[in-house]
A = this chain, B = another copy of it.
């Protein structure tokens, strides 16, 4: 589906919802609707989709980039002396019922729009309803991103040696991913007890015999993210690592099996959670089953308790159960799975094994 087709669908959905226009301000949604990769910092970037037209609004310094994007929307720019709101008002042309991405739009910008007479309606679900359902080209893009991440992870695991510094291992795979075309990456490779904190930052720790390695590596290639996790042990797995790995592997298999039309986000979480929580002697279940992935690394639906969003064909989900033992380590397994009309479709293709870093390797 072309970016212009996506704009047309959003326009139709906005019309059905009684909105005079939709204002899209989050970079992944702007990318989805126009192909432009915006990096706003404090500046306004927006797609305004009105009943009969619309525009891509950018700072003047990005006019050329916007004009090269594969969108037919008019490009409206503004100078450094403007904050873009007068130009946006020109495009919106007095629309009252304005849909916004309310999980992204800041309160300050919302108040600016309200002060100018707009009534703000939540169009988050309208926009995400389109973005959530990936088409064939998007599935192919995610599958390609997965191959790049898998290649980089294979090289990283093969190259791991006792004494390697956590921060440097992360820096190196980020370099390899960027060299392979990733425009963003988010490696989180943690050693030993550090791996028991799934959101820790890589630091000075050196890899030691007996450590687990929990390697969560994500990268954006061709506009779409891949997000995978695999684990290794340094030397033969300890009893804890071996047992935890089997639990997590079983939990992941159950959660992937649950990723079907007819189920909800929380069903996938429940499928892994019941297995992980039953192994509480091995560690804690610190997070949900995963999240959707696409032009953004974390997208809804989020696979956590209480979310009853129904799964639909085209949803692409990370399935990533984990088990964490403070002071010991963490084991997590993560793959990217598309929901289809039939069986769940694995987009990432990497052997499902607990790898071993040989201690005596030169």
A binding-site residues for B, Cβ under 8 Å: 37, 39, 41-42, 59-62, 64-65, 80-81, 100, 102-111, 120, 122, 124, 167-168, 170-172, 174-175, 178-179, 181, 183, 196-201, 269, 286-288, 291, 297-298, 300, 302, 304-306, 326
Contacts and interface: CB of A to CB of B under 8 A. Distances in A.
Contacts of A60: 286
A122 B107 CA distance: 9
Given A61-B198, A65-B200, A175-B171, A108 B122 contact: yes
Contacts of A80: 269, 286-288, 304-305
Contact of A102 (B65, B106, B201): B106
Contacts of A64: 196-197, 326
B183 A178 contact: no
Contact of A170 (B110, B170, B178): B178
A326 to B, nearest CB: 7
B120 A305 contact: no
Nearest to A165: B179
Nearest to A81: B305
A271 to B, nearest CB: 14
A302 B44 CA distance: 14
Contacts of A109: 103
Contacts of A304: 80-81
A352 B41 CA distance: 27
B111 A298 contact: no
The 8 closest A-B pairs by CB, nearest first: A171-B178, A175-B175, A81-B305, A102-B107, A61-B286, A41-B298, A102-B108, A107-B110
A62 to B, nearest CB: 5
A32 to B, nearest CB: 17
